[in-house]
Structure 1
Amino acid sequence: MPRVLLLHTGGTLGMAGGRPSALRPAAFFKTLKSRAPELFRLADIELELFSNLDSSEMQPELWSRMAAHLHHRLPHFDGAVVTHGTDTLAYTASALSFMLRNPPCPVVLTGSQRPLGEIRSDARLNLIDAVLSALQGPREVTICFDSHLYRGNRTRKVKVAEYDAFDSPNCPVLGTLGVDATFEPGLKPRGAFRLFEKLDSRVFLLKVYPGLDPALPLQLLPHVRGLVLEAYGAGNFPIAPELGRSLMPLFLQARERGVPVVVVSQAYRNGVDLSLYESGAEALAAGAMGGSDMTPSAALVKLMQGLAYHPSSPEALARFIQTPIAGELTVGRPTVPPPAPQRRRPARRVRAE
């Protein structure tokens, strides 16, 4: 039989309790063998306990340890399944996609909205689909949930209380597991299987909103190495000085301090184009980088890795951010600042809504 590594990290799937008591981590492997014995008919499954945490406790240090462990173990298996809580599942999938380059077999993350031990749990089917995806799916880091297989670094959690909890707005699904299971080829391997486990977690994710006082993020700059800005639409934010809420001082001071800024969109579909509107053009002139159609979670983790491996080269960091590493962005969008800052304010471009 094919061999599959099942690495348990925690999450709702392996919890016990529930209304009226709170859910809590529980003994997972015993429940797995009694509630989902079909798994062991699909493959020779080796169970390993990495952690037993609520996914809100997942941190970059654990991603590095997990990636190093998987790098050591994957060559001995035909596929791997990582069970994980849903709240930070997209972050972990993004991290593993950047850390495990050209994996020798599929790495599939899954979880559930209800614990495996409950009657109406979605955990059993998610586990079966994940194991099947680990055997037949593409050789990349993916998320399997509600009979769909998504590229891990393209995925967002979109629902809390429904079983179709994830979506991949800017990337087609890689697999559909209905009556038949069909899979797309996925990413083509580009070289040997390599581990890039280093991260610099001194980054901040800032969401633009009406009323944001620029003084608040300005106070953060001395304490961070990088900044991801969730802007409006195509990469817009306030710049009118007369209203006292312009964010341009943030970009200018970030450039002076050597703090890279990556701009992504709050919109679920499409991505930023910093050349389209005046605020984005001024951000480009101040050295900001457009994050194309990356999700905020993917952009955040990618910036962590870029800072760890390119700590003193803004040019190398910019190339790293704009280049697809694991299918996380669509090429062809303006993502890199111009060679020299523009001193003149560019003409305002207006697009019909």
Structure 2
Amino acid sequence: MPRILLLHTGGTLGMAGGRPSALRPAAFFKTLKSRCPELFRLADIELELFSNLDSSEMQPELWSRLAAHLHRRLPEFDGAVVTHGTDTLAYTASALSFMLPGLPKPVVVTGSQRPLGEIRTDARLNLIDAVLSALQGPPEVSICFDSHLYRGNRTRKVKVSEYDAFESPNCPLLGTLGVDATFAPGLRQKGPFRLREKLEPRVFLLKVFPGLDPALPLALLPHLRGLVLEAYGAGNYPSDPSLGRSLLPLFQEARKRDVPVVVVSQAYRNGVDLTLYESGAAALQEGALSGGDMTPSAALVKLMQGLAYHRNRESLARFIETPIVGEMTERPPAVVETPAKKSRRAR
């Protein structure tokens, strides 16, 4: 039989309790074998307890350990499944995608909205679909949830109490697991399978909102190595100094302190274009980096890794603005219109 490594990190899927008492971590492996025995008909599954945490406790240091463990163990298996709580699942999937370049086999992250031990749980189907995706899906880090397979670094949690909890607004599905299971080819990564587990956690994610006092993020800058700014729309933010809440001084001070600022959009679909409006153009002049259509979680983790491995600003800028593992849409090459083309159009 094919071999699958199943790493349990915690989360609702492996918890016990529930209304009226609070959910709590429980003995996952015993419940798994009793509630989902058919899982072991798909593959020879080796179970490992990596951690047993609520996913709100997941931290960069654990991502590094998890990536190192997968890098060491994956060559012995045909694929891996990581069970994880849903709250930070997209962050972990994004982190693993950057930390495991050249990934030769699928690593599928999954979880559930209800514990495995409950009658109306979604955990059982999510686990079965995740194992099947680890056997047949593309060789990249993905998220399997509610019969869909998503690219891990393109996914957002969008619902709290419904089974279709995740979406991938700017990237097509990698797989659909209905009556039949169909999978896209996915990434074909170049180069050897490597481990890049270093991260710089001294970053901050700032969401622009009406009434934001610029003094607050300015006070944070001395403590930061990098900043991700969730701007409006195509990369807009308050920039009129006459209204007293311009964020342009934040970009100027960040440049002085050599703190890179990556701009992403609060909009779920499409991404930023800092050349489109005046405020975006002003941010560009102050050295802001475009996050394109990256999710905020992917941009944050990518910045953490970029700061750990790139020591000069130019190298970091190339890393942030270039697609590495499918986390952003590649920009089409600029088309320069020749005078001949213009004259034909005029005629």
Whole-angstrom CA distance in 1 between matches of 2:102 and 2:14: 29
Cα displacement string for residues 301-342 of structure 1 (whole angstroms, at most 9, x for unaligned residues): 0000000001x30000000001111100011179xxxxxxxx
Whole-angstrom CA distance in 2 between matches of 1:332 and 1:100: 24
TM-score of the aligned structures, taking structure 2 as reference length? 0.95
Cα drift, residue 102 of structure 1: 1.5
Letter in structure 2 aligned against 1:187: L
Whole-angstrom CA distance in 1 between matches of 2:302 and 2:105: 22
Letter in structure 1 aligned against 2:315: A
Whole-angstrom CA distance in 2 between matches of 1:38 and 1:285: 58
Aligned to 2:94: 94
Aligned to 2:38: 38
Aligned to 1:327: 326
Q: Secondary structure at the match of 1:95?
A: helix
Aligned to 1:252: 252
| Structural mapping, 1:1-353, within 5 Å | 1-310=1-310, 312-332=311-331
Whole-angstrom CA distance in 2 between matches of 1:297 and 1:224: 17
Cα displacement string for residues 75-129 of structure 1 (whole angstroms, at most 9, x for unaligned residues): 0000100000000000000000000112121000000000000000000000000
Q: Secondary structure at the match of 2:306?
A: helix
Q: Secondary structure at the match of 2:34?
A: helix
Whole-angstrom CA distance in 2 between matches of 1:99 and 1:22: 34
Note the residue ranges of structure 1 that are not aligned, 5 or more in a row.
335-353
Letter in structure 2 aligned against 1:69: H
Cα displacement string for residues 203-226 of structure 1 (whole angstroms, at most 9, x for unaligned residues): 000000000000000000000000
CA RMSD of aligned residues (A): 0.8
Q: Secondary structure at the match of 1:287?
A: coil
Aligned to 1:349: none
Whole-angstrom CA distance in 1 between matches of 2:273 and 2:157: 24
Q: Secondary structure at the match of 1:101?
A: coil
Whole-angstrom CA distance in 2 between matches of 1:110 and 1:102: 21
Report the identity percentage: 84
Whole-angstrom CA distance in 2 between matches of 1:100 and 1:238: 38
Note the residue ranges of structure 2 that are not aligned, 5 or more in a row.
334-347
Aligned to 2:339: none
Whole-angstrom CA distance in 1 between matches of 2:78 and 2:209: 46
Q: Does structure 2 conserve the Cα–Cα contact (< 8 Å) formed by 1:6 and 1:48? A: yes
Q: Does structure 2 conserve the Cα–Cα contact (< 8 Å) formed by 1:292 and 1:333? A: no
Cα drift, residue 189 of structure 1: 2.1
Whole-angstrom CA distance in 2 between matches of 1:189 and 1:208: 35
Whole-angstrom CA distance in 1 between matches of 2:103 and 2:27: 30
Cα displacement string for residues 2-46 of structure 1 (whole angstroms, at most 9, x for unaligned residues): 000000000000000000000000000000000000100000000
Cα displacement string for residues 245-273 of structure 1 (whole angstroms, at most 9, x for unaligned residues): 00000000000000000000000000000
Whole-angstrom CA distance in 1 between matches of 2:182 and 2:68: 30
Letter in structure 2 aligned against 1:288: A
Q: Secondary structure at the match of 1:97?
A: helix
Letter in structure 2 aligned against 1:325: I
Letter in structure 2 aligned against 1:220: L
- 1:297 and 1:333, CA in 2 relative to 1: closer, same or farther beyond 3 A? farther
Q: Secondary structure at the match of 1:219?
A: helix
Cα displacement string for residues 154-187 of structure 1 (whole angstroms, at most 9, x for unaligned residues): 0000000000000000000000000000000000
Whole-angstrom CA distance in 2 between matches of 1:33 and 1:190: 38
Whole-angstrom CA distance in 2 between matches of 1:256 and 1:104: 42
Aligned to 2:344: none
Aligned to 1:341: none
Aligned to 2:341: none
Letter in structure 1 aligned against 2:230: E
Q: Secondary structure at the match of 2:254?
A: helix
Letter in structure 1 aligned against 2:187: L
Q: Secondary structure at the match of 2:65?
A: helix
Letter in structure 2 aligned against 1:230: E
Letter in structure 1 aligned against 2:40: F
Letter in structure 1 aligned against 2:313: P
Q: Does structure 2 conserve the Cα–Cα contact (< 8 Å) formed by 1:5 and 1:79? A: yes
Aligned to 1:344: none
Whole-angstrom CA distance in 2 between matches of 1:90 and 1:44: 27
Letter in structure 2 aligned against 1:154: R
Cα displacement string for residues 274-296 of structure 1 (whole angstroms, at most 9, x for unaligned residues): 00000000000000001000000
Letter in structure 2 aligned against 1:249: P
TM-score of the aligned structures, taking structure 1 as reference length? 0.94
Q: Secondary structure at the match of 1:45?
A: strand
